[in-house]
Amino acid sequence: MRSLIVAAAWLSGTLLCGCGSTSSGVTPSLTITPSGNAGTVAISGPTDFTAQVVGSTADVAWTVTGGTLTATSGLHVVYLPPLGTAAGMLTATAGNLTASVKIASSPAALKPVSIPGLKGAVTVQYDAQDVPHIQCTQAVDCIAVQGYLQARDRWFPMDFLRHVAEGHLAELIGSSGLSSDLQLRTLFTTRDGQRLESALRVAAEADPDHKTLDLLTAYTAGVNAYLAQLKATPGAVLPGEYAQLPFALTPADLDAWRIEDTLAIGRLNQFQLSETLNAELDNGKFLATYGPAALGGKLPDAGKMLAWVRAPSPLTERGHTLSAGPAGISSAPASHASVAPRRRPAKFDLAPWRDALTAAAARTAELHDRLRPLDASIGSNNWVVSGGKSATGAAMVANDPHLSLQYPPLFHLAAMTSSNQSDNLDLTGGSFPGVPGALVGRGAHVGWGVTVVGYDVTDVYLEQFAPCPGSGPTDPPCVAFKNGLVPTLAFPQVYKVRIGPGPTGLIPATVPAPFVLMVPHHGPVIQAPDPKTGKGVSVRWTGQEGNTLDSKAFYGLNTATDVDAAMLALKDYATGAQNFVLADDKGNIAYDPHALVPVRPWAITATPLLPWFPLPGDGSAEWGPGGSVDCTVAPAKLDPTCWIADATLPQGKNPAKGYFFTANADPTGVSDNDDNDPRPENPATDPPYLSFSWDDSSGFRATRIEQMLAAAIARNGKVSLDDMMQIQSDHASRLGLAFAPIIAGVATSAPGGSPPDLGLAANMIAAWAAAGADCPSGLTGTDPGGAADTTPVVVANSSACFLFHEFLRVLVTNVFTDDLAVAGQGVNGLAAIKALLFMATPQGAGSTSFCNDVNPTTGQVVAPKSCATQVATALVTAYDTLSGLVGPDPKTWVWGRVHTMQPVSLLALVTSGYAPGPFARPGGAFTVDVGSPSLTASGTSFSFGSSGNVRHISLMDEAKPVVKMQLPGPERDGPAVTTTPDLLGQWVRNSYFDYAAGGQISAVAVATQTFQAP
């Protein structure tokens, strides 16, 4: 603890009672040291106090007020001062002797720091979690100091991510980064050949409101101030993660920070959270395999198409963000009136592009898995409760964005307050290192939460290339478009690779194509044209529009005065497609998932082109009402006709039910029956096509959140802060409840002579479901090897949850792996779950060809099987596997021994101390407190690597704001340690800390630091 204690001490009784000399001539006395001269002593941090006893053999006892002690008896104790500025009294007693020390404590004063360009002095107070609370006279100074502190605390992830985002990773980590560089240089190039980060800076400079540019400039100055100090410090050591690199770098090897670096990291994050490139390529491969022959399918199977490529949630009744309220929530699989599309899709034969699709998918798979691993996208929850439905009368907001678990954690926390009232900056939250402000948290008047909404903002185009008339063999080709040929553009690129330390360690890299090939009306070419056929693939993503002002939108959100002002600010938020839930200190709540969503008129015709499959590049599937070629008018200005109007997008304010919730599912319910048709069911009231499958269209988490909110209101008429925390830590398995009746039906109809383990396993699942299908870890602590909890209900739930997940993994593997191998793709866990639950309905009976065993190369059936047989086989296999590998007694099947999380360094090449754990965790696939393990791995390890990167709850009380927060790791970079503050341990235990908001920091600060201009 960093604190400075100034103690005023005196002897309250050198000789209290029995004064005078003893018979031996020794005067009894008791003193405490340190006590200092004239009754004062200066100490720093926890301090060892010693009792000195003369003329007495009595034991020494200690008492204290205003602090804590490490012991209550003995000659030595350590005094732990309270947080903030406080007074305490330490008293020692030995027999009839007493001595006291009066202690006045205050935060430690740390070494001042200079940052060029600061307009005034800045004070930073640190709390017990090492979170900085920045106090300034102008917002730009707060942001500059935030830049310095982020660089000081998290420099490696900042440096690493800018290299990734800008396509220079090989310059940091060597040749293993070249593949990423080639793809991100391609994807992050605008249609006129600019780097995205450069175009975004131009847009910020063109904005008449220069506040965003001023803030970005200040942030950059703060980062560079830290780098300058690092380079000027003799013997300075880089963060430990640099030891993972193949080459020993020094501070001299670090490039200065640029505004473009911040913008690039922001766009990289938006790409991770919004693109559907890989999904659409996979859908195209699946269509080219099992689709109708007229669309290029080589093994037509309408049942497989309907089961695998589908939009609706598998639940019969499910919650939607904008629904009027819960109409009753069922666990049964969904039932749909029709399995046939209402209109036949337009004929477009994918067969000629089959090889190009396969090659493109292979090229992007590695990048996709690195940025957004399979199954890791299933996550993020947020909800808001209005003042009218809050137990305190103040609106509340909760958020836990689910992203890859890293060490140190992905988010860096900071609070910022400007004394300039016009700034309206009083911010408490967290952001990604490299990005100023707060992405999650609350401002002076508005709190918010973010999750991915999952708009369809990506289209893949199948292009026909040909030589341009009169061109030479090395000239860029032309591409067929609207009955003509359009020249493509080639933008040269220079790639470098690091082969050693220092300036001479960077050399030019040899790559197959040192240029980005651009289809000017679509976007970059991700699969070069085949030399023989001219078939290639391009992609268009809204994030390639380089003239947006997303940073401005977030700063406007950070400083909004109410939810209306927040929604107005979010109109500048263009890329990333986030569900924003908002709550203000007047009791209002709102929902606003604003983003750029393309207008696609060809998707709602009588014979639509389906935008979740690759599209023809011939001009028949262009964005905009008239097939606009370019949606850009000027820097910082977009053609509004290209995008669905803001008023048409889902949004709402102060609903009668008193809450909004999101969990990446369909917010309006329009996709419930749109199995094969992007057209709105009711064009008069429904929005136009927004998405096919959203980001997690299962509905399990969203429905559970609404269920718990509605239950709290039904129980007490209000939602309490404790209710909010309970929801965020909920680990009941609605997925288990959905499968329970399927398992029961199979067990009931099993023929005589079935394995006895079938009945035993089915009975375990049935009892588990009847009790609510909870998924506790089954341990008394967080150590996977620790003591098991012997409480009967915990034992039963833990073992059944373990059995269920083993069953699910076996079932998914047995049913889908062979069929998908024919299509050249792996198993997506979300699609598999939706398909399985659909196939269990009467409407899905025609899709059960998945349940046959097929040759994974030819697709020929080698063993006809029913889905009931597959369920029974998977259940028996799972039971027998656990019996053999864990033990024959199900009571020993402890879920937390295998369901674990272990954050790792960003590079995943673990340096010593950068992979704490593993830790046992409750929950499982699709639980609210998410811990979704891979459903396609083998064995009995169910570790997961993606979960809530922060858990945040705010009570929007203007007078007494309350902020609860969890962070899965320390604020500062460094190897894992066991000393306080143990933020990772708190996160694992679902234990919140109180995040001081507003002026609350003065009462709990442990250290202070000043920043000023040189």
Three-state DSSP state, 929: coil
Please give the pLDDT value at position 5.
33
CB atoms within 10 A of CB 645: 12
* pLDDT tens digits, 468-523: 999 988 999 999 999 999 999 999 999 999 999 888 999 999 999 899 999 999 99
- Cα separation, 205 vs 891, in Å, equals 64
Place of tokens 């198409």: 305
Give the Cα separation of 488 and 525 in Å (integer).
10
CA distance 21 to 371: 79
Q: What is the pLDDT of residue 159?
A: 97
Residue 24 has pLDDT above 70, yes or no: no
Q: Is the pLDDT assigned to residue 375 strictly greater than 50? A: no
Residue 2 has pLDDT above 70, yes or no: no
Q: Which of 526, 597, 478 is nearest to 187 (CA)?
A: 526
Looking at per-residue pLDDT, the higher value among 707 and 334 belongs to 707
Cα(878)–Cα(783) distance, integer angstroms = 25
Q: Mean pLDDT throughout 163-173? A: 96
Which of 409, 410, 381, 412 has its CA nearest to residue 397? 381
pLDDT at res. 469: 95
Confidence of residue 101 (pLDDT cuts 50, 70, 90): confident
Average pLDDT in the 688-703 region? Answer: 89
Does residue 668 have a pLDDT over 80? yes
Burial 673-693 (b: 16+ CB within 10 A, else e): bbbbbbbbeeeeebbbbbbbb
- Find the range with the poorest average confidence among 167-171, 347-351, 866-870: 347-351
pLDDT classification of 275: cutoffs 50, 70, 90: confident
Predicted local confidence at residue 714, as pLDDT = 95
The kind and range of the H/E element at 538 are: strand 535-541
Cα–Cα distance, 436 to 218 (Å, whole number): 10
Please tell me the predicted confidence (pLDDT) of residue 161.
96
- Determine the Cα angle at 626 with ends 625 and 631, to 5°: 75
The answer to pTM > 0.85 is yes
Work out the average pLDDT over 653-663: 97
- Reported as type and span, the H/E element at residue 41 is strand 40-44
- Window from 42-51, 115-124, 205-214, 337-346 with minimum mean pLDDT: 337-346
Please, which pLDDT band fits residue 932 given cuts at 50, 70 and 90?
very high
pLDDT of residue 108: 85
pLDDT at 73 over 50: yes
For the segment 754-761, the average pLDDT, to the nearest whole number, is 92
Q: How confident is the model at residue 330 (pLDDT cuts 50, 70, 90)?
A: very low
Q: Tens digit of pLDDT for each residue in 639-650?
A: 888 999 999 999
What average pLDDT does the segment 739-758 reach?
A: 90
User: What pLDDT is attached to residue 675?
Assistant: 52
pLDDT given at position 409 = 94
* Banded pLDDT at 41 (limits 50, 70, 90): low
Q: How far is CA 738 from CA 313, 664, 834, in A?
A: 12, 19, 11
Mean pLDDT of 135-151: 98
End-to-end C-alpha distance for the chain, whole angstroms: 29
Q: Is the pLDDT higher at 199 or at 83? A: 199
What value does the mean pLDDT take over residues 732-741?
Answer: 97
Q: Find, among 443, 433, 665, the residue nearest to 554 by Cα.
A: 443
Cα 217 to chain centroid distance, Å, stands at 27
The number of beta carbons lying within 10 Å of the beta carbon of residue 76 is 12
Q: Which two tokens stand for residue 544?
A: 């390639």
Q: Which residues lie closer than 8 Å to 528 by C-beta, 6 or more apart?
A: 513, 517, 536
Ranges 221-230, 253-262, 574-583: which has the least confidence: 574-583
Please check the confidence at residue 364 and state whether its pLDDT lies above 90: no
pLDDT at 910: 65
> For residue 97, what is the enclosing H or E element?
strand 97-109
Share of the chain above pLDDT 70, in %: 91
Q: Which amino acid is at 654?
A: N
Distance CA 984, CA 972 (A): 12
Quick check: 45 pLDDT over 90?
no
Whether the pLDDT of residue 336 is over 60: the answer is no
Q: What torsion, rounded to 10 degrees, do the Cα atoms 513, 518, 522, 526 define?
A: 0
List pLDDT tens digits, range 593-626.
999 999 998 888 878 888 999 999 999 999 998 7
Give the residue, 364 or 714, on which the prediction is more confident: 714
What is the pLDDT at residue 979? Answer: 61
Residue 16 has pLDDT above 50, yes or no: no
Residues 665-680 have a mean pLDDT of 71
> pLDDT, tens digit, for every residue of 964-1010?
999 999 999 988 765 668 999 999 999 999 999 988 999 999 999 99
Please check whether residue 976 is in contact with residue 88, taking contact to mean a CB–CB distance below 8 angstroms. Answer: no
The mean pLDDT value for 62-90 works out to 88
pLDDT of res. 327: 57
Confidence of residue 37 (pLDDT cuts 50, 70, 90): low
Provide the pLDDT for residue 632: 65
pLDDT the model gives residue 938: 84
pLDDT at 349: 87
Residue 8 above 70 pLDDT? no
Residue 396 has pLDDT above 80, yes or no: yes
Q: What is the mean pLDDT of the chain?
A: 89
Between 14-18, 504-508, 795-799, the lowest mean confidence (pLDDT) is in: 14-18
| Confidence band, pLDDT 50/70/90 cuts, at residue 628 | low
10 Å Cβ neighbour count for 483?
7
pLDDT tens per residue, range 185-214: 999 999 999 999 999 999 999 999 999 999
